[in-house]
């Protein structure tokens, strides 16, 4: 999970009034798919001095910027409301409590996300005080593992296990939807995995397969969707193409696929790469090899702030018709340059500028440094992605932006169970970019994002020449 603390940019809220959609199986009998709409809004977030990023990359923050995807849900009886950060890069649901020192600050940074009160729920059940997620900068949360009723869009998961952060330095509650092997209790307590959200839905007979699909839609879109146990064939172009999830330390624990080629316009940024990249909705930006990113910055006229580990581009770059193309053995995902240009005025209410007066926007790519290569939200909005934990596979297709049509099909059981998907022949295995050693939850790595001080960019950056257009 990688967040950039500032005002929440294009935050996606999952409507708490949404209901599971009525669907049909491919054979015409009633289907079991749990689907919810994602609603896009810009939300003003409280100051978050300790916004977290889960990967051990060189990273930094702008003052109070967070690009997050949220779901609205309830825990307990009577229901307690929560706004949870949807994160494919972690596996636990955990929430704060009002007793946390962080949540007693004024103004309360936990208020928007919600705080759990165990004694106010009749269905609460204590499991043990071994919830402990930590980050390399010393931030994180410790507390209890418990069970309670979890209601998301009218779908109730009974006796659902989650963590309570009685001591915490993170204001957002997290809904991790990754592999159960990546849960905190596996890495910290040496215990067996428990059923997190997709596995629990399958165990309760709500879906057939431990799989879900994610459609974030375009940067400017007002809606997107997540489907547990199904796909929407109207939300992508062509066929889904299926790739194996890459293992590290002989374990499938994270959503890693092999990136083989990157182009910007007609210029190849890297070929025959065989890099393992993490598909992570909890990462605001995308993080690629440093040398590649440096070349991309040169082509688009980006100015890199080393102390912040982010880059800025002229906002006029969003008018460029250029694209970036990411190849994964065979499937190709095209990302318009406009999807990589993030408007800081919409986020902060003020327009940062370069020293020559040109409006500055945040660029959606950053160097990975020595850490994991990540394709985050700036990539994922252009990709329809099926996360199949049952078969340890990822299926990819080009997103169909801003469509109002829908055709939802169930993901069945067994091999080749994802509708409209073909298996890629002879996929390339990752030769680098894989970390060694067990479940990542044992020590989730992160950096606190430091604020960008002073007048932002004006008077700080000089010599900007504007972006070049020869690569179009």
Q: According to DSSP H, which parts of 171-302 are helical?
A: 184-189, 197-203, 290-300
> What's the confidence (pLDDT) of residue 38?
54
**Which residues are 410's β-sheet partners?**
230
Alpha carbons 264 and 325: distance in angstroms, whole number: 7
Task: Judge whether residue 51 has pLDDT over 50.
Answer: no
% of the chain residues with pLDDT over 90: 59
Q: Is the domain of 206 the same as that of 241?
A: no
Q: Is the domain of 90 the same as that of 203?
A: yes
**Which residues are 13's β-sheet partners?**
39
Q: Is the domain of 386 the same as that of 282?
A: yes
Q: Who's near 377: CB < 8 A, 6+ residues apart?
A: 67, 69, 216, 281, 283, 284, 285, 286
The number of domains in the chain is 2
Active-site residue, from 144, 148, 195, 280: 280
Alpha carbons 381 and 385: distance in angstroms, whole number: 10
Task: Judge whether residue 352 has pLDDT over 70.
Answer: yes
**Reported confidence tier of residue 310, pLDDT bands at 50, 70, 90:** confident
> Has 195 been annotated as catalytic?
no
Across 187-211, average pLDDT: 95
Q: Is the domain of 16 the same as that of 118?
A: yes
User: What token pair was written down for 389?
Assistant: 């934990």
Task: Please report, for the domain that includes residue 34, its CATH number.
Answer: 2.40.70.10
**Reported confidence tier of residue 346, pLDDT bands at 50, 70, 90:** confident
> What SS3 class is residue 271?
strand
Q: Write the DSSP string, 386-455.
A: EEETTTTEEEEEEE-TT-----EEE--SSTT-STTEEEPSSPPPP-BSPPPSS-GGGG----PPPP--TT
Q: Is the domain of 175 the same as that of 251?
A: no
Q: Is the domain of 94 the same as that of 171?
A: yes
pLDDT digits (tens, 9 = 90+) for 171-197: 889 999 999 999 999 988 899 999 999
pTM of the model: 0.85
Q: Is the domain of 31 the same as that of 156?
A: yes
Across 387-401, average pLDDT: 98
The domain of 29 spans 8-211
> Has 92 been annotated as catalytic?
no
Q: Is the domain of 190 the same as that of 329?
A: no
Alpha carbons 217 and 236: distance in angstroms, whole number: 10
Q: Is the domain of 58 the same as that of 136?
A: yes
Q: Is the domain of 166 the same as that of 256?
A: no
Alpha carbons 266 and 471: distance in angstroms, whole number: 6
> What's the confidence (pLDDT) of residue 249?
87
Task: Judge whether residue 462 has pLDDT over 60.
Answer: no
Active-site residue, from 48, 63, 87, 232: 87
């Amino acid at each position: 999970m990688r967040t950039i603390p500032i005002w929440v940019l294009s935050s996606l809220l999952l409507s708490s009034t949404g209901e599971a959609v009525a669907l049909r199986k491919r054979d015409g009998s009633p289907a079991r798919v749990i689907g919810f709409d994602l609603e896009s809004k810009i939300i003003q977030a409280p100051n978050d001095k300790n916004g977290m990023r889960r990967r051990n990359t060189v990273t930094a923050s702008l003052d109070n910027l967070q690009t997050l995807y949220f779901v609205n849900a309830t825990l307990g009886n009577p229901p307690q409301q929560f706004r949870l950060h949807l994160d494919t890069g972690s596996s636990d649901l955990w929430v704060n409590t009002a007793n946390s020192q962080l949540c007693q600050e004024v103004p309360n940074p936990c208020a928007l996300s919600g705080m759990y009160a165990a004694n106010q729920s009749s269905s609460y059940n204590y499991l043990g005080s071994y919830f402990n997620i930590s980050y390399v900068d010393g931030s994180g949360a410790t507390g209890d593992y418990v069970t309670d009723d979890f209601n998301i869009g009218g779908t109730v998961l009974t006796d659902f296990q989650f963590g309570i952060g009685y001591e915490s330095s993170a204001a957002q509650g997290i809904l991790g939807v990754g592999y159960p092997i990546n849960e905190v209790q596996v890495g910290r307590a040496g215990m067996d995995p428990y059923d997190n959200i997709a596995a629990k839905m399958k165990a309760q007979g709500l879906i057939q397969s431990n799989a879900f699909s994610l459609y974030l839609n375009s940067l400017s879109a007002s809606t997107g969707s997540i489907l547990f146990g199904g796909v929407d064939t109207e939300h992508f172009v062509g066929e889904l193409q299926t790739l194996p999830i890459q293992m590290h330390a002989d374990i499938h624990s994270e959503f890693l696929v092999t990136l083989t080629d990157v182009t910007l316009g007609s210029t190849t940024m890297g070929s025959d790469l065989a890099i393992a990249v993490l598909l992570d909705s909890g990462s605001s930006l995308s993080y690629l090899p440093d040398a590649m990113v440096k070349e991309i910055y040169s082509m688009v006229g980006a100015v890199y702030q080393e102390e912040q580990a982010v880059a800025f581009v002229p906002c006029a770059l969003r008018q460029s018709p250029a694209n970036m193309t990411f190849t994964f053995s065979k499937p190709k995902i095209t990302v318009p340059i406009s999807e990589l240009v993030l408007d800081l005025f919409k986020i902060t209410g003020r327009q940062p500028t370069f020293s020559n007066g040109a409006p500055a926007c945040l660029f959606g790519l950053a160097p990975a440094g020595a850490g994991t290569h990540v394709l985050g939200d700036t990539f994922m909005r252009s990709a329809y992605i099926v996360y199949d934990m049952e078969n340890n596979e990822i299926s990819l297709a080009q997103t169909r932006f801003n469509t109002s049509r829908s055709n939802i099909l169930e993901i069945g059981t067994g091999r080749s169970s994802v509708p409209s998907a073909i298996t890629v022949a002879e996929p390339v295995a990752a030769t680098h970019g894989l970390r060694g050693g067990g479940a990542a939850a044992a020590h989730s790595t992160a950096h606190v994002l430091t604020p960008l001080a002073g007048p932002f960019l004006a008077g700080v950056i000089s010599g900007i020449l504007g972006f070049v257009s020869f690569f179009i």
